[in-house]
Chain A
Amino acid sequence: DIVMTQTPLSSPVTLGQPASISCRSSQSLVHSDGNAYLSWLQQRPGQPPRLLIYKSSNRFSGVPDRFSGSGAGTDFTLKISRVEAEDVGVYYCMQATQFPHTFGQGTKLEIK
């Protein structure tokens, strides 16, 4: 199975400041079709997960442009350019290149 490792596990951030979360996979996420099926999801307290980024760098419909995804191979990053109060929650990376699909442990974003 592909192991997904996120860092940091907790990220206190000041409102208006940037935040960055790293996700590393134990194997390359490049699929035979050339795509890297790496998604980022946000889970606000008491809510189901919500898709933010798919295929490493594609922002999902309705997601604010302060969220961006990058990376290739085994190293991926989610960046929030200016953190807002509504961004509080847990962020997960997930690989869907191979079965079983696997998630990172989650990174808790909180406001300082």
Chain B
Amino acid sequence: QVQLVESGGGVVQPGSSLRLSCAASGFTFSRNAMHWVRQAPGKGLEWVAVISYDGSNKYYADSVKGRFTISRDNSKNTLYLEMNSLRAEDTALYYCARDAPGGVGTFDIWGQGTMVTVSS
């Protein structure tokens, strides 16, 4: 079935780096734009970044611009989020989400999320 599975979260110190992965299955991954969305504990949703279906276009939230990099490997059906210079305020559950075919920001499929905790 159509599925997204995130991994790579953990507990890290401020200033550290971490790479999240999102494995896609059940659909043609290379046809869809993909997003990262995060949710701090007990808080609302925050859009983080998007990458186009072929990786040629990327956009970021101001809060992560210059520190986070979104990428994808269509041969491996996998989305990535490289996170550098992590801060306490980056602590959150990170979801990957699929942009629906032909949709603009229509997040039709979500993973279960991977938790990132930034703490000394």
Contacts and interface: CB of A to CB of B under 8 A. Distances in A.
A60 B109 CA distance: 11
B100 A94 contact: no
Contacts of A69: none
Interface residues of A, number: 28
Contacts of A21: none
Contacts of B66: none
A103 B106 contact: no
Given A48-B95, A49-B95, A92-B44, A31 B104 contact: yes
A39 interface: yes
Nearest to A106: B44
Contacts, number: 67
A39 B107 contact: yes
B61 interface: yes
Nearest to A98: B105
B84 to A, nearest CB: 19
B45 A49 contact: yes
B44 A103 contact: yes
7 nearest A-B residue pairs (beta carbon): A96-B105, A48-B110, A101-B47, A54-B106, A99-B59, A103-B45, A106-B44
